[in-house]
């Protein structure tokens, strides 16, 4: 065997060992994610895997329903909510790790229609020239609560109440609009940030309480290297850039 062949085999062996070691340390984290964050989460998952080698497995739904599943023993390890109340409640009830919750995104609400001429501004709501207005369930979905706040702030809620159709979460609400089951609806900016189709009105943030969205490490994730790595990744520059590209406000500092 020549010295060249020996060195070549040695290099291949070292690379193989490194690759195997990498696989051995790769893990998986199960994450419950608020529906408004669906597309951003999917991109974050790819970036997280590329950066750490760990897999992120997402389950999407309304914040309220996801919390109900967590409280009933669902095996989630990280919770990305659409509010702060549920992560704080998870900590208080011993379902999450004390001090682990922080704001990862600030949501924004948009009145949206696939009809290019329908939505202009708040006058669209005042005129009421439509049959169905979609919102997410305000009891379980913070974006739905923000929609109701907006209409009440504008003094149009009572007049529009008979036209409102509710989606179980913001993803279903968006589907109502894009399929034409409702002419317009209050959706998350993140859902339409990637295109300029239809017509839209970015609701002033003075009309609804801030949608500060908290992440928290759940008790099931304690000691899971992949879960802890995802929390750290979510606070970093790669995640921040992705989150902001989807139309969210910049994550704030860690909640106390």
Give the neighbor-by-neighbor strand order of the sheet with 133-136.
164-167, 133-136, 184-188, 109-113, 199-202
Nearest to 189 by CA among 243, 118, 128, 256: 243
Average pLDDT (56-64) is 96
Q: If 0-12 CB within 10 Å is exposed, 13-18 middle and 19+ buried, where does residue 107 land?
A: buried
| C-alpha angle 199-175-104 in degrees, rounded to nearest 5 | 85
Average pLDDT (119-131) is 98
Alpha carbon distance 107, 100 (integer Å):
20
The confidence score (pLDDT) of residue 127 equals 97
The confidence score (pLDDT) of residue 25 equals 54
Question: How many Cα atoms sit within 13 Å of 256 on the Cβ side?
Answer: 0
pLDDT-derived band at 21, boundaries 50, 70, 90: very low
Find out whether 149 and 210 touch, Cβ atoms under 8 Å: no
The confidence score (pLDDT) of residue 199 equals 98
The confidence score (pLDDT) of residue 26 equals 78
Would strands 109-113 and 199-202 be described as parallel, antiparallel, or unpaired?
A: antiparallel
Average pLDDT (148-153) is 98
Comparing 22-31, 52-61, 163-172, 209-218, the range with the smallest average pLDDT is 22-31
The pLDDT of residue 153 is above 50? yes
- Integer CA distances (angstroms), 250 to 59, 103, 179, 241, in order: 23, 9, 31, 9
- In sequence order, the β-bridge partners of residue 218 are 96
Instruction: Decide: helix, strand or coil at residue 249.
Output: strand
Alpha carbon distance 169, 29 (integer Å):
23
Q: If 0-12 CB within 10 Å is exposed, 13-18 middle and 19+ buried, where does residue 207 land?
A: middle
The average confidence (pLDDT) of the chain is: 90
Task: Give φ, ψ of 33 to 5 degrees.
Answer: -130, 130
Find out whether 35 and 167 touch, Cβ atoms under 8 Å: no
The confidence score (pLDDT) of residue 85 equals 95
* Token code pair at residue 116: 């290019």
The pLDDT of residue 254 is above 80? no
The pLDDT of residue 143 is above 60? yes
- Model pLDDT for residues 234-245, shown as the tens digit of each residue: 999 999 999 999
The confidence score (pLDDT) of residue 2 equals 55
Average pLDDT (10-26) is 44
Find out whether 84 and 103 touch, Cβ atoms under 8 Å: yes
The confidence score (pLDDT) of residue 251 equals 56
The confidence score (pLDDT) of residue 4 equals 43
Taken in order of first residue, the domains within the chain and their CATH numbers are: 27-106+211-245 (3.40.190.10), 107-207 (3.40.190.10)
Nearest to 168 by CA among 81, 59, 66, 37: 66
* pLDDT above 90 coverage of the chain, percent: 86
- Model pLDDT for residues 64-87, shown as the tens digit of each residue: 999 999 999 999 999 999 999 999
């Amino acid at each position: 065997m020549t010295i060249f062949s020996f060195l070549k085999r040695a290099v291949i062996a070292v690379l193989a060992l490194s690759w195997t070691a990498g696989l051995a340390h790769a893990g998986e984290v199960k994450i419950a994610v608020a529906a408004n964050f669906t597309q951003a989460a999917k991109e974050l998952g790819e970036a997280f895997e590329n950066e750490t080698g760990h897999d992120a497995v997402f389950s999407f739904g309304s914040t309220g329903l996801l919390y109900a599943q967590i409280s009933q023993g669902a095996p989630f390890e990280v919770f990305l909510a659409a509010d702060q109340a549920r992560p704080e409640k998870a900590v208080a009830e011993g379902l999450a790790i004390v001090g682990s919750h922080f704001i990862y995104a600030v949501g924004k609400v948009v009145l949206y229609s696939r009809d290019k001429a329908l939505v202009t501004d708040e006058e669209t709501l005042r005129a009421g020239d439509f049959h169905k207005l979609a919102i997410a369930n305000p009891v379980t979905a913070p974006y739905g609560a923000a929609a109701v706040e907006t209409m009440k702030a504008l003094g149009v809620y009572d007049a529009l109440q008979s036209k409102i159709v509710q989606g179980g979460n913001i993803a279903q609400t968006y589907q109502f609009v894009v399929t034409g089951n409702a002419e317009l609806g209050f959706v998350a900016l993140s859902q339409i940030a990637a295109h300029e189709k239809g017509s839209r009105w970015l609701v002033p943030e003075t009309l609804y309480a801030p949608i500060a969205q908290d992440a928290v490490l759940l008790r099931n994730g304690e000691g899971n290297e992949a879960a802890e790595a995802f929390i750290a990744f979510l606070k970093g520059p790669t995640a921040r850039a992705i989150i902001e590209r989807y139309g969210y406000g910049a994550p704030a500092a860690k909640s106390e």
